[in-house]
């Protein structure tokens, strides 16, 4: 496959009832990571650090370009973050590659800029112990 730019990107996230909602049009930018824990296992007989990989993890931060309270869009999906404790499937797709993870969104941060803009940031962390795997 050839090298490609990072577009278009599809972002689908479950609302609090578990219904997937495509909010790609509301997401201005996103960050996601799939790090592994690392343990230092260096013995006194080594001249360099020796490590082993531990558990897998995932995290995400979505930046929403504008406040959208239309039915089934970003505000409808995230307005219940503070009042519900449910895992939500986040599916990221680009160029036929998909990363689906069960996430816990920890905040729905709205910010009103001096210019009158209303944006949001939504951080999330891995919820269910399933290793994040691209398919």
Residue 54 · residue 36 · CB < 8 Å: yes
Residues 76-135 pLDDT 10s? 999 999 999 999 999 999 988 999 999 999 999 999 999 999 999 999 999 999 999 999
**Which pTM does this prediction carry?**
0.85
pLDDT of res. 95:
87
């Amino acid at each position: 496959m050839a090298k490609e730019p990072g577009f278009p990107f599809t972002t689908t996230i479950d609302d609090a009832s578990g219904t997937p909602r495509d909010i790609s049009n509301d997401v201005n930018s996103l960050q996601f990571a799939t790090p592994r824990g690392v343990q230092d296992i260096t013995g006194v007989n080594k001249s360099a650090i020796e490590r082993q990989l531990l558990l897998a993890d995932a995290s995400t931060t979505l930046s929403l370009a504008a406040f959208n309270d239309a039915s089934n869009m970003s505000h409808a999906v995230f307005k219940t973050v503070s009042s519900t404790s449910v895992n939500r499937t986040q599916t990221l797709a680009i160029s036929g590659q998909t990363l689906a993870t069960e996430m816990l969104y920890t905040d729905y941060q709205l910010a009103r800029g001096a210019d009158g803009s209303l944006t949001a940031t939504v951080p999330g962390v891995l919820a269910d112990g399933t290793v994040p795997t691209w398919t």
